[in-house]
Structure 1
């Protein structure tokens, strides 16, 4: 894994010193090597920091130029089938065993889109075409690896993290209030937006082309089309055939991700997803796989005992670390440095500690992320019946409620006291006319974020743009999670936490072949007897007894709501002080104060909402 940066302006000089400064900000992503490449006459430059995984020699140095001289790339990621791609090229004179050289060779031979369509992997890269004078920004199918780009005067800057863009002297870093409203709804900022104006994320499966003619965006892989096609034409497999096929696909996905020239292991929580990955790893390895878990002394949050039992059954070389609330709290001040736009999934803290533990032993770790979205594992996927109760109310009445809500003064509902929010939420539900509105509401933290963010208007997202989505509610919920929650929350969390300690995290369940298989799997093989991930469980039960892994889902949470009334009270109070909020001018200070006071008094549990507020305030303090 690596960090990449770049600058491009057809009409401006590319300053080498600026590239050096930008590249230095990403040294944590690639501590093993660093390089820059500049073509001053074209106003373009690329930078790279390297975490050496394949071919540890200097021959893997980046930015790297193709042997034909046409292309230069700064690349972050892994192409797991690059050995097979080399065979397809025939007698190509490779100088190294680096997958970066493979990527350049297949692009030169087959063209950019044809080449990446044949790649199995995770990646984000910037490719300069010296013949066409175009800069191509490319991101993998599922958005596993990040890539940002933004305006800098008359040019463009890009990087794996926003801190690299901020380092360029022409980058303005102006806060985007509309994106901030999205953050308070979702606890992350969904693509293509970022916290800064005139700055965007390259979206999963997208190619962004920068040239003297402007910007052009195209999709080289479309998740929604894949999901819709699978839903419309599901596989007609028996249960045994489906289990055999999924196990075969997953085994190959895991095998490819075990390719490494450095020590490798896996995160293990003891749940279905990570246990399946580890079980298949162990089936492929002649030696005990190294596995890692974090434990908590609070039983409600502790999965370490389950992970230990699974590790013992599989015979892995298991390491666990029990952390205290003090260990967790000590991480809080560093969060804005690692997640350099507001991000408020509190499991970021234990994920960082798990990554730090793992990095003490290995350089690469496999993870089980993606199983819930692909195979209907989240409890909320069973909530569609609630919409059925709302939809049963006559539409005319619901539309009337919606119109009344638009004109009703907030002071009217405030007369209801502490019941105000619950009443408003129920009235909101009555005012909804489509299921997708209901699902967005279900996922939302602040239900009305523009009441909180001064002068903001919400921007469109996949949860507000209906498109040609599957009609069946369960499939639609999963699609929206794959488009938003997975890349912008889960994968962002894992990328920043692991890269902060120079650990490469790999996610075999998100192999695009597995995704395409899941899209064509009928619901009856995902959800059965009131339980999600049925088919994935059948694969796991071939390796691990049902009794070791069949238990309620715990997640990876931390007791934020309790900390805020105790250890974090003073820190939170300083960040949320009304005088501070008013001086900054971004949020409604009265609303913030109300939420804070109600939480401290015990009238309400606003833990998640306050964590959203505090992560923004901490970010603002660190980066303003």
Structure 2
């Protein structure tokens, strides 16, 4: 895993600016760095390397193809590089890196065909000197980041949005149109970013830039929506036990490929189904002891370490746990703005950073269980959305919509329960209910002074796209929440300490198989992830796993009332400061804060506002 950056058509000191971009993402690649500038200086690439496979100079980047025609910079891992390599002339290769395989495959098969062959996580840029194009691509699910856009008259790109900020001449203003989405969700979804004219390349797509004109063309090579629809139209026909057999086989194949590295590999382990399944299968494939890592907290309401330790002992892993204090977690907060480069407010970013830091002391690569909830119907919200939609779907929308409007404009809307019911009555489908979860409070819709009107992926699905409520909401999470929140959180916090994370459940074959499973193989009343549990219970006793999941929650609401953090928060929320910035409504922010401090009404948007203000302070320092 690494960091990539570059400029096309930059008129200033190209090399110096690439070096500055490289320095900004040093944490993504501490082992070495490199720069390539074309003879005409139109194309410049920068790379920071975290050495994982082929630690020699043969794996260094930027890398030029054997023929000299193409130059690549690449972040990620191609897990089936060995299979692709066999399709190419062995005389092409100087080393054993997957970078070299990817580069030579692109030259010989083209970008589109190479992407169809690749299984992995990646973001890359490849310069074709003959065609005078640079082509960028991002993996199917969005594990690896890539930002791009116009900075002045030049086309710029990077793994870390902060790299764009250091380019001489960068004056892209704040994209206030995204703030409505940010203050609803706590993150900024692709293709948008916090800056005007800067975008995130969407998962499963590639973009080609003409070096001479800077014209761009974007094309999808894989679609989560298409895979979901195809899977539901062609469902798995075997028994539940046969489904578990196939899932176990696919996960083992994925994990085996993702355990390949020339550096130490381990895994995050919580007390949950997902990480326990990954670790169980890792241990079954490893003749030695898998290294596992857990963080614990003194507060029993948030601590899973004791249960994770039981699982590790049962499986026989080499287990490391670290109990963290409130002080440890609070010390992370000032680092968050630099870490993410734009406003991001999933508060589990703090413990995720701490477990990554502890893990990096022992290994360079760590596998995680992310994706299990979204692919195998694990979230409890899926059951509640299904239940709510089941009660209202037979009432025609032309009746529900005016009733919704009447409720929301009546005195009943002063009470939260009626406001929620009134809002949900206006839902066109289950995906709409899912979207409305954070949109029932009229006060939080007024945080930003500018009202955005950007199209958003939550509105992309037609009603009854998959004809099954749970699958509808799972798909919305896989399109938006998972790539734009979960994967961003894991990538940025892990890379902040130079740790590569790998996610076996996001393997292409696992994802495509998961979408073929009927809902009764995934959920039974309030119990989700049935087929995943069936696999896990072959390795870990059922009674060891059947307990409530705590996740990586932290008591932000409690901390913010304590003197140290309260003073910090009130400094960021100063009415004069907010008015001077001219982005947020100072009166609304004050009302949200006093509702919390004086009336005990905690809104999740408080943390969203604080993370935005922390970013603003960093931005204009």
Q: What SS does structure 2 have at the residue aligned with 1:621?
A: helix
2:365 corresponds to which residue? Answer: 364
In structure 1, runs of 5+ residues without a counterpart are none
Distance 2:278 2:438 in 1: 28
Q: CA deviation at 1:431?
A: 2.9
CA distance in 2 between counterparts of 1:570 and 1:13 reads 43
Q: In structure 2, what is the equivalent of residue 243 of structure 1?
A: 244
**How many residues are aligned here?**
615
**Residue of structure 1 in register with 2:189 after alignment:** 190
Displacement of 1:446 in angstroms is: 6.3
1:13 positional shift: 6.0
Please give the per-residue CA displacement for 1:443-465, whole angstroms capped at 9, x wherever unaligned: 55866755221122231122012
Structure 2, unaligned stretches of length 5 or more? none
Among 452, 456, 465, the alignment partner of 1:457 is 452
1:221-232 alignment runs, 5 A limit = 221-232=222-233
Residue 8 (1) aligns with residue 4 (2) = no
Aligned counterparts, 1:418-567, within 5 A: 419-442=414-437, 444=439, 450-467=445-462, 469-566=465-562, 567=564
DSSP-derived class of the 1:505 partner: strand
Runs of 4 or more, structure 1, over 6 Å off, are 445-448
1:107-159 CA-partner distances (Å, limit 9, x unpaired): 11211111121111100011111111111110000000000001112221000
| Cα distance in structure 2, aligned partners of 1:447 and 1:495 | 33
Per the TM alignment, residue 261 of structure 1 is displaced from its structure 2 partner at its CA by 0.4
Shift of 1:437: 2.0
Q: Does the CA contact (< 8 Å) of 2:92 and 2:104 recur in 1?
A: no
In the other structure, the counterpart of 2:33 is 34
Alignment of 1:14-163 (within 5 A): 15-41=14-40, 43-163=42-162
> Offset of 1:504 from its aligned partner?
0.3
> What displacement does 1:165 show?
0.7
| Structure 1 position 401, deviation (Å) | 4.0
Structure 2 counterparts to residues 325-340 of structure 1, below 5 A: 325-340=326-341
Q: Aligned-pair distance for 1:173?
A: 2.9
Distance 1:238 1:382, change over 3 A: same
Q: Describe the SS at the equivalent of 1:466.
A: coil
Query: 1:394 Cα shift?
Result: 5.4
1:184 and 1:445 in contact (8 A); partners too: no
What residue is the counterpart of 1:264 in the other structure?
265
Q: Kindly provide the CA deviation profile for residues 474-523 of structure 1, in whole angstroms up to 9, marking residues without a partner as x.
A: 11111110011111110000000100000000000100110000010111
Task: Trace 1:602-613 onto structure 2 (pairs within 5 A).
Answer: 602-606=599-603, 608-613=604-609
Closer, same or farther: CA 103–345 of 1 in aligned 2, 3 Å: same
C-alpha separation between the residues in 2 aligned to 1:444 and 1:399? 16
TM-score, length basis structure 1 = 0.95
**Local SS of the residue matching 1:164:** helix
Q: Is the 8 A contact 1:188 1:489 kept in 2?
A: yes
User: Is 1:324–2:325 an aligned residue pair?
Assistant: yes
- Kept in 1, the 8 Å contact 2:290–2:317? The answer is yes
Match of 1:584 among 570, 581, 591: 581
Secondary structure of the 1:124 match is strand
d(CA) in 2 for partners of 1:530, 1:403: 32
Structure 1 contact 445–609 (Cα < 8 Å) conserved: no
Contact in 1 for aligned 2:151/2:172 (Cα 8 Å): no
Which position in structure 1 is the counterpart of 2:568?
571
Deviation at 1:438, TM superposition (A): 1.5
- Relative to structure 1, the CA distance from residue 177 to residue 421 in structure 2 (aligned partners, 3 Å threshold; closer, same or farther) is farther
* CA RMSD, Structure 1 to Structure 2 (Å): 1.9
1:398 aligned to 2:395? no
Alignment of 1:271-350 (within 5 A): 271-350=272-351
1:422/1:240 CA distance change after superposition, 3 Å = closer
Report the TM-score when normalising by structure 2: 0.96
Following the alignment from structure 1 to structure 2, what is the Cα–Cα distance between the partners of residues 181 and 371?
29
Deviation per CA, 1:96-117: give whole Å up to 9, x if none. 0111011111111211111121
Q: How far did residue 88 of structure 1 move?
A: 2.1
Deviations 1:155-213 (A, max 9, x none): 21000011101111132231011112111111110100001110100000010111126
**Distance change in 2, residues 1:208/1:446 (3 Å):** farther
Worse-matched range after superposition: 33-42 or 16-25? 33-42
Q: Secondary structure at the match of 1:281?
A: helix
> Given that residues 405 and 422 in structure 2 are in contact (C-alpha distance below 8 angstroms), is that contact kept between their aligned partners in structure 1?
no
2: distance between equivalents of 1:289 and 1:240? 27
Secondary structure at 2:480 match in 1: helix
How far apart are residue 84 of structure 1 and its match? 1.6
2:354 match: 353
Trace 1:194-205 onto structure 2 (pairs within 5 A). Answer: 194-205=193-204
1:614 aligns with 2:610: yes
Q: Confirm or deny: 8 A CA contact 1:450 1:457 kept in the other structure.
A: no
Instruction: Please say if residues 383 and 525 of structure 2, whose CA atoms lie closer than 8 Å, have aligned partners that are also in contact.
Output: no
Task: Return the offset for 1:426.
Answer: 2.9
Residues 574 and 13 from structure 1, CA distance in 2 versus in 1: closer, same or farther, beyond 3 angstroms?
A: closer
Query: How many angstroms does 1:79 deviate by?
Result: 0.7
Q: 2:164 aligned with 1:165, yes or no?
A: yes
